[in-house]
Structure 1
Amino acid sequence: MSYLDEGTGQPVVFVHGAAGDLRAWAPVRAEITGSYRFIAPTLRYFGTGDWLDQGEKFSVGTHADDVAALIRALDIEPVHLVGWSYGANVAIAAALADPDAVRSLILFEPALPSMIQEGEAGNAARDAMERMFGPATAAVEAGDAETATRLLVEGVFQLPPGGFESQPREIRTMQLDNARSVPLLWSAPPWDVSCDMLKELDRPVLIVHGAKSNAYWPHIAAAMDACLPRAEVAALPGVTHDGPVRDPEGFATMIEDFVAKH
Structure 2
Amino acid sequence: MQPRTLVLKNIVLVSVAAMFFVASPSFAQQKGASSSEMQTKEVRVNDLTLHYIELGQGTPVVLVHGTLEDYRTWDGQLEAFSKGYRLISYSRRYHYPNEWPKDATDFSVTIHARDLAAFIKALNLPPVHLIGHSYGAFIAFLVARDHPEVIRSLTLGEPPIMPLLKTTPEGDALLTTAIATSIASSEAFKQGNDEEGVRRFTNGMLGEGSYEKLPPPVLKRLMDNVQELKGERSSRDLFPPTTCEDVQKVKAPTLLLDGELSPKMFHVINDMLEHCLPSVERATIPVASHQMEVENPQAFNETVLAFIAKH
Q: What is the TM-score normalised by the length of structure 2?
A: 0.76
Residues 181-207 of structure 1: CA deviation (Å, up to 9, x unaligned): 102112320322211101111111111
CA contact (8 A) 1:209 1:236 kept: yes
In 1, Cα distance between equivalents of 2:64 and 2:152: 15
> Match of 1:81?
130
* Structure 1 counterpart SS, 2:160: coil
**AA matched with 1:27:** G
In 2, Cα distance between equivalents of 1:221 and 1:154: 28
In 2, Cα distance between equivalents of 1:6 and 1:24: 15
Q: 2:223 aligns with which of 176, 188, 192?
A: 176
- The more displaced of 199-208 and 161-170 is 161-170
In 1, Cα distance between equivalents of 2:203 and 2:78: 24
Identity percentage over the alignment? 32
Structure 2: gaps spanning 5 or more residues: 1-49
> Match of 2:168?
118
The answer to whether residue 217 in structure 2 is matched with residue 167 in structure 1 is no
**AA matched with 1:73:** A
CA contact (8 A) 1:124 1:216 kept: no
1:260/1:27 Cα in 2 relative to 1: closer, same or farther (>3 Å)? Answer: same
> Match of 1:246?
295
CA contact (8 A) 1:106 1:206 kept: yes
1:166 positional shift:
3.0
In 2, Cα distance between equivalents of 1:49 and 1:4: 13
Q: 2:254 aligns with which of 192, 195, 205?
A: 205
1:49 positional shift:
3.6
Residues 230-261 of structure 1: CA deviation (Å, up to 9, x unaligned): 11221110111121111111111111011001
Q: 2:109 aligns with which of 44, 57, 60?
A: 60
1:213/1:48 Cα in 2 relative to 1: closer, same or farther (>3 Å)? Answer: same
In 1, Cα distance between equivalents of 2:76 and 2:255: 20
**AA matched with 1:140:** S
Q: 2:284 aligns with which of 235, 238, 244?
A: 235
> Match of 2:185?
139
- The more displaced of 56-65 and 1-10 is 56-65
1:34/1:206 Cα in 2 relative to 1: closer, same or farther (>3 Å)? Answer: same
In 2, Cα distance between equivalents of 1:53 and 1:63: 17
Alignment of 1:182-197 (within 5 A): 182-188=229-235, 189=237, 190-197=239-246
The answer to whether residue 69 in structure 2 is matched with residue 20 in structure 1 is yes
> Match of 2:10?
none
Residues 123-166 of structure 1: CA deviation (Å, up to 9, x unaligned): 5532453256x22xx213653644454566678xx854332343
**AA matched with 2:222:** Q
Q: What is the TM-score normalised by the length of structure 1?
A: 0.89
Residues 72-117 of structure 1: CA deviation (Å, up to 9, x unaligned): 1111131011111010111111111211111111111101111113
1:29 positional shift:
1.5
1:153/1:253 Cα in 2 relative to 1: closer, same or farther (>3 Å)? Answer: farther
Residues 203-229 of structure 1: CA deviation (Å, up to 9, x unaligned): 111111111112111111001111111
Larger gyration radius, structure 1 or structure 2: 2
In 2, Cα distance between equivalents of 1:154 and 1:93: 33
In 1, Cα distance between equivalents of 2:197 and 2:280: 34
- The more displaced of 62-71 and 144-153 is 144-153
In 2, Cα distance between equivalents of 1:152 and 1:229: 38
